[in-house]
Amino acid sequence: MFKSYETLLTEIVRPHLLVVTLNRPDVGNAMNTQMGRDLLDLWTSLIADPGDMRCIVLTGAGGKIFCGGGDLKQRRGMTDEEWQAQHLVFERSRDALVECPVPIIAAVNGHAFGGGCEKVLSCDFAYAARTARFALTEVTLGIMPGAGGTQFMPRAAGERRSKELILTGKPFSAAEALQWGIVNKVCEPETLMDEVLATAETICANAPLSVRQAKKSIHHGLQMDLRNGIQFEIEAYNRLVGTEDRREGVLAFNEKRKPNFKGK
């Protein structure tokens, strides 16, 4: 289903479950232009046709660094126009990740700095290794978060905490990320993937159309006032009433068996 990528590994590890690995471990999985293009292609293809994918796990190769942010070695010597052209690729990649109908869980197996931290924040939720550290360091480099950090961080951690983290650029621990709502769970490094995959498998066992509609309702509803958000929710709900999975779910409940959802 998935083509080969220069900077990514893609593997269907269980039925309906895709693991995507940022694969530039020699440079801390830093994002170069090619990684931006690869991620854009992958997320766009999943938007166009998610197929039978029901959950995606995003992690980093190498075990110590999830993603170190933008590749500053590649950026050295870039003209302003080249820098902005590259960043446009990153922006489009982020937008495609956010709009992907399939839930995406970040498995933060190592440090997530700059754009790497923003990538974690862009996912639907995240589990982190106890040893992982996070930072939005852009202001220490003469720029600012530009891949969603000033928007996703306040939505996760609140305005005042986010201002402190973004304006100082100081790193913080996985335990602090958990306390502040940036990650959902902290795991031992050796059990991180097992725990993430267990949660992903739970999602995969649920009705896929229901999961996608619920994700969409949460995502778009948060951008509306409560009254319109509730109306959006009802529209999303009503699209599930006529599905085969809705009928199968009710039938399985009454027959006291596990439902067999088909995404129809």
Q: For the segment 45-61, what is each residue's pLDDT rounded down to a tens digit?
A: 999 999 999 999 999 99
Please identify which residue in the block is written with the tokens 């003469």: 142
Domain that holds residue 148: 8-204
- What does the pLDDT look like over 137-164, one tens digit per residue? 999 999 999 999 999 999 999 999 999 9
pLDDT for res 1: 59
pTM of the entire predicted model? 0.94
Residue 241's Cβ-count burial label (10 Å; 0-12, 13-18, 19+) is: exposed
Rounded distance between C-alpha atoms, residue 34 and residue 86, angstroms: 9
**Percent of the chain whose pLDDT exceeds 90:** 94
Do 21 and 47 share a structural domain? yes
Residue ending a domain, choose from 183, 204, 225: 204
Do 227 and 162 share a structural domain? no
CB 30 within 8 A of CB 24: yes
Do 155 and 87 share a structural domain? yes
Do 245 and 146 share a structural domain? no
Do 99 and 48 share a structural domain? yes
- CATH number for position 88: 3.90.226.10
Q: How many CB atoms lie within 10 A of CB 254?
A: 8
Give the 3-state secondary structure of residue 28. Answer: coil
Please identify which residue in the block is written with the tokens 């990650």: 183
Stretches where the chain sits below pLDDT 50 are: none
What's the structural domain count of the chain?
A: 2
Q: How many CB atoms lie within 10 A of CB 158?
A: 12
In a domain, 155, yes or no: yes
Do 236 and 105 share a structural domain? no
Do 246 and 143 share a structural domain? no
Q: Which residues contact 172 (CB under 8 A, 6 or more apart)?
A: 133, 134, 135, 165, 180
Q: How many CB atoms lie within 10 A of CB 11?
A: 11
Pairing of strands 8-14, 17-22: antiparallel
Rounded distance between C-alpha atoms, residue 178 and residue 172, angstroms: 10
